[in-house]
Structure 1
Amino acid sequence: MHLSRPRRSPWRELVLVASLLAWGICQASGQISIISSLGIEGYEALLELQNVPEGVQEYSWHRGASDSADSMIVSYQPPSQAWQPGPMYSSRENVTVKGHLVIKDSLLNDTGSYTVRVDLGNETQRATGWLEIHEWEDDPGISANTTSVVEYRDPMVVFCHTNVTDATRIQWYVNALNVSSNEQMTISPDRKTLILHQLSRYDFMIRCGIENVLGFPQKSDIIFPKVFYGPDSVLLRTKPSNFSSVLAAEVGSAVQLDCTSTSSPGPTYRWIHNGSFLSSAASLNFPSLTWEQMGRYRCIVENPVAGLSFYRNVRIQRPRWTIPEIRTGFYLSGSLVVFFIGMTVLGGVYLCGVLIYFLI
């Protein structure tokens, strides 16, 4: 059984902004609010403000649901670009010019509620939001009970190795297409097992994938099944060419017989001449045909893995010469026949006229 080890996604080398799944905790109309978000451990997390009015003099971020001095993380004053760390500051937090809180290299214990106090000079607004940090989910692994099958005959069972328990987050891909259960395949209720009832030579790649908490796809390695097929499209070509199962050739002439087919793995060949084994080559070549080489030939093409075989027959014999028909006797052409008929009619008319004359 082939089992690929789960590997780290290349996304770990990139900066991922964890503010994709959001719900705002809006207070009154026109009030500031925080877009609460989900994040991945080790990535940059963002708590974004919305409905921020003009003329903000200070942003003050706090850990928890209150804006007390003991819970302050950091404060930022836009005009002077001055910022002040608080008791909850861990050196990973920063405030952008728009007042958003950025947490670098987020940790699981960064999960919780956060409160922002916005000083507008003539008033102060507050909002509380939620940040949830999840562990990174490794890419799924994949294995199969076999990777070699015979076309349209052998089933194949493929397993997706993941800790994801939500079946809706597990996907299967055959030839890069997202698939579901149908007549050709069945997916288990937990979606961790794919049963391919039959495969064709055109099924060249299989993989599974999961959707992480941020909605990004993470895919396994690819299994490339080896599908054995054939032989099919068995052709028998001859030189000189023939259009039937009989090849007319004279003794001493050059004759070539070629047997070809489509098969995986490559097929084996057997030539039978007049009921006896002759050769295991794909082609027969007779530079100067002899009497002994005349007769019946059969090319047998076999795929030992698939257990299939086909054959084609041809007969080599001398050409049959036809003797031209020699006609004897007296023949008249069509024009002469018409002439003689006309003369006979005119002669009859003349004789009738003469007889009438004498009678009168």
Structure 2
Amino acid sequence: MSTMWHLLRVILIFSVFLSVWMERVSAISIQLMPPYPAVGQSVTLSVTGITGNIREVKWYKGSNTDASNHILTYIPSANSPQSNGLQYFSRASALPNASLLISDLEFTDGGNYTVSVQTQTAQQTSVNLTVYEPVTDVVLKSNTSEIKENDTVTLTCETKNANRYEWVRVSGSLPSDTIQSKDKSTNTITFPSIKRSAAGDYYCEAKNPASNKKSNIYTLTVNYGPEQVRITGDVNVTEGSSFTLECFAESLPNATFRWTHNGTHLNSCQQRCSLKVASDTQGMYTCIASNSVTNINASTTVNVTVNAASSSPEMNDGPLSRGAIVGIVVAIFAVALIVAVIVLFLMLKQRKKHSASTNRKQHVSATVASGNGQTNESAAEHDIQYTSVTFAQRPPRKVQMQPSDENVVYSDLRLS
């Protein structure tokens, strides 16, 4: 009998334990769908883990089931399943699976919600609903308008409704010395001693669980210098000539330049200084570079030496200019043309002399031929002598006028 009673006690304890365990295993819960709802969206407070037939569902706005928190009651078997409570609003409605649908969310809809479900047993659970507003008005700003190298610079991502911030450098990764929160929950980054290598385009992306938005592109300019000032130009010059010195410097923004000669300011010089060499030109020339943003000045000096002018002109070993080359070509062409004209004139004159000489020789030959043309008859013919004159026909010759000369002596030839 005692054994039987002991067995019944064990069975009863096991049954109680099993019922408690099953109740815990089958406890209901609420899931948000979507998990991060935003203003204007719809969200479902979905009840999971229900076992058995649903007899009654009650929803409350709050963490307890007071009547003042009652939103609605849903009885699936009733002719009018839904009845409304004191906290009811028109955008809330019950679903057959015991879930609550809220449409067109407003920011004020956020808070705790509690559901009570009656099946064979009564169970209840709560959930916190967070309604997110969209991220808007994202603007990236700097704490200073003119950034100088080695300054401490802070960039701020100004926005609304964000709780996380992503920083992006368009050309690559952020500088290694940049300071920002590890969980990205702060809206600033800091450059403790900014370098010119940090210059570039940046933007931030503001986020919350429901939305995200990028800022404007911010161009970070790091001003520096002037530095590495240097002077170029000839420092050994000749008296009477001209010379030019030019100054350069690494600077952002571009540097402005001033010059001094032996401590006296040269008003006519800026970045480039062009001067005529005189006896007082020799001395120390200093270029002073200035940056209007960094307010830094830097300078360098060269010594210019003036040499006496040479007594004999020296050929310029430098390359000829285009004008000089053209002038030389024109001069050569002109000389060649003049030589050609002279040669042609001499050739024509020589030809004319040769023609005159030929005519004179022909005239003399004709005269001799005329004298030899006489014939004599035989003396046997009664000793009578006849003279026969034969005229030889010859082409007319040109009579060339000879220049009158007062020293010419003319002779009178008579035939008897």
Q: TM-score range by the shorter chain?
A: 0.3 to 0.5
The structure having more radius of gyration, on CA atoms, is: 2
TM-score (norm 2): 0.43
TM-score normalised by the chain length of structure 1: 0.47
Per residue, is there more helix in 1 or in 2? 2
Higher strand share: 1
The structure with higher relative contact order (CA 8 Å, sep 6+) is 1
